[in-house]
Amino acid sequence: MEQQICLWCREDTSFGTGKFVNRIPASKQDSIDDEYETGYQCADCQAEECSVCKQSVIEYSFTENCDAICYECNPDEDEDYVYDRECDDCGAKTCAEVAYFYEDKTFCEDCCPDGYGE
């Protein structure tokens, strides 16, 4: 039977364990002499501690120093731009700063609607 454990914490991630949700298929080999394993990584083990706010976060990127940093603390993210709008044309996330609003619809930068500004 296929093992459904998290390869990091070795806990069962099969359906009904509470770790089934948000698990991702993963493989792991610690060194060339170790067994190559396939299984899953549970949500808890996907999380990294943000080097700035010390919160455990699943979505993060890395700084130049290879520290994990959450999106909220990432200085590279342009704080003026909040991508909370959705383009009615292509469905991409867009930002009110750059979006076009036309006939009660929202369009991203790439989807400037015909007739806009006429």
Q: Which is nearer to Zn ion, 48 or 70 (CB)?
A: 70
Nearer to Zn ion, 36 or 108 (CB): 108
Nearest approach, Cβ of residue 86 and Zn ion (Å): 9
Which residues have CB under 8 Å from 114's CB, separation 6+?
none
Q: Applying CB under 5 A, which residues contact Zn ion?
A: 6, 8-9, 42, 45, 50, 52-53, 70, 73, 87, 89-90, 92, 108, 111
Position 95, amino acid: C
Residues 74-92: b if buried by 16+ CB within 10 A, e if exposed: eeeeeeeeebebebbeeee
Smallest gap, in angstroms, from Cβ of residue 20 to Zn ion? Answer: 12
Q: Which is nearer to Zn ion, 85 or 111 (CB)?
A: 111
Minimum gap (Å) between residue 32 Cβ and Zn ion: 24
Q: Which of 43, 49, 74, 46 lies closest to 61, judged by CA?
A: 74
112 CA to centre of own chain:
27
Shortest separation between residue 19's beta carbon and Zn ion, angstroms: 7
